[in-house]
């Protein structure tokens, strides 16, 4: 693992690191905020999965999570959203290829050799984190935005017992019924829609749900609201009696201004779950 940078931040350290990934077959970069407590003992870990076009850097510099995490003694990891590099397949569209991994393991050409973001988040990056930093493996929570909100919800339901809590900002909630999902799943997973179900939060809620609480924030003025389909997730939560809260925030859009406004609520939500 290579240290790219480390900066003092709210009494702790905001670092950026690079490591070779077996899952993606290329080098991957991630950000990690460690609060002051990590110098004394292992601390709980909050995962933040970013959205389309983002790298590890966007939320790390714009979401304002570090101040809230420091107040609760939590670490926050900011993974990248896809494999990258000259040998990695890409597409001219912003919503496919590099920057748009969708947190799935691709099975189709030309994506299959590198686009294995499910395995990267579920297995590869955790091995690096827990081997190199003072983190508590049995105290983890997960959140994310947009495509990353989709990833957070599906990871939480797909990796039962790993995360104490899950939250999301304007997540893609029903990708099998949205152009933000059908396009990418066809490209990455192929035309057999039965293989898509494991990556649709609304469908996963209907067949198992999450053994914990959810917090979802969605802006009412989000320019991508029709693609995100929060109403599908709300109906599934109600139908399955899933514990949680979905809040429609009046006037907020899809930007980091929205995320930073409610970041404190989400960190406090996860801190409470991790303290139980």
Token pair 């004394």: residue? 40
Q: What is the spatial distance between Cα 214 and Cα 166, in angstroms, rounded to a whole number? A: 5
Residues of the chain with pLDDT under 50: none
For the stretch 36-89, pLDDT in tens is 999 999 999 999 999 999 999 999 999 999 999 999 999 999 999 999 999 999
Q: What is the spatial distance between Cα 25 and Cα 114, in angstroms, rounded to a whole number? A: 6
Structure tokens at 199: 């990556």
Q: Which residues are part of the catalytic machinery?
A: 146, 222, 254
Q: What is the DSSP string of 231-268?
A: HHHHHHHHHHT--EEEEEETT--SSHHHHHHHHHHHHH
On whether the CB atoms of residues 142 and 49 are closer than 8 A, the answer is yes
The predicted model scores a pTM of 0.98
Q: What is the pLDDT of residue 26?
A: 98
Q: What is the pLDDT of residue 98?
A: 98
Q: What is the pLDDT of residue 276?
A: 86
Q: Where are the beta strands (DSSP E) in 170-249?
A: 214-219, 244-249
Which domains, from first to last, does the chain contain?
2-274 (3.40.50.1820)
Q: What is the pLDDT of residue 31?
A: 98
Q: What is the spatial distance between Cα 95 and Cα 102, in angstroms, rounded to a whole number? A: 9
On whether the CB atoms of residues 188 and 175 are closer than 8 A, the answer is no
Q: What is the spatial distance between Cα 123 and Cα 133, in angstroms, rounded to a whole number? A: 16
Q: What is the spatial distance between Cα 249 and Cα 265, in angstroms, rounded to a whole number? A: 13
Cis peptide before 110 (omega within 30 of 0): yes
Helices (H), 8-116: 57-62, 65-72
For the stretch 239-261, pLDDT in tens is 999 999 999 999 999 999 999 99
Which of the 8 DSSP states describes residue 170?
S
CA dihedral 183, 185, 191, 194 (to 10 degrees): -140
């Amino acid at each position: 693992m290579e240290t790219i940078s480390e900066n003092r931040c709210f009494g702790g350290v905001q670092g950026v690191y690079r490591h070779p990934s077996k899952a993606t077959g290329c080098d991957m970069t991630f950000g990690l905020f460690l609060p002051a407590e990590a110098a004394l003992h292992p601390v709980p870990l909050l995962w933040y999965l970013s959205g389309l076009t983002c790298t590890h850097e966007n939320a790390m510099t714009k979401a304002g999570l570090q101040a809230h995490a420091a107040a609760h003694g939590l670490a926050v990891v900011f993974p990248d959203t896809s494999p990258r590099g000259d040998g990695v397949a890409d597409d001219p569209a912003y919503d496919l290829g590099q920057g748009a991994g969708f947190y799935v393991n691709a099975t189709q050409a030309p994506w299959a050799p590198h686009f294995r973001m499910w395995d990267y988040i579920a297995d590869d990056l955790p091995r690096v984190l827990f081997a190199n930093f003072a983190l508590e493996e049995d105290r983890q929570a997960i959140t994310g935005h947009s495509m990353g909100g989709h990833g957070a919800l599906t990871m939480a339901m797909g990796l039962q017992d790993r995360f104490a809590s899950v939250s999301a900002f304007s997540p893609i909630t029903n990708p099998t019924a949205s152009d933000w999902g059908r396009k990418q799943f066809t490209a990455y997973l192929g035309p057999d829609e039965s293989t898509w179900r494991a990556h649709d939060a609304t469908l996963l809620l209907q067949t198992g749900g999450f053994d914990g609480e959810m917090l979802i924030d969605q802006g009412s003025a989000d320019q991508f609201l029709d693609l995100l389909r929060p109403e599908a997730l709300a109906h599934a939560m109600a139908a399955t009696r899933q514990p949680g809260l979905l809040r429609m925030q009046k006037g907020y859009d899809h930007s980091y201004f929205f995320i930073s406004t409610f970041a404190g609520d989400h960190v406090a939500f996860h801190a409470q779950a991790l303290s139980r």
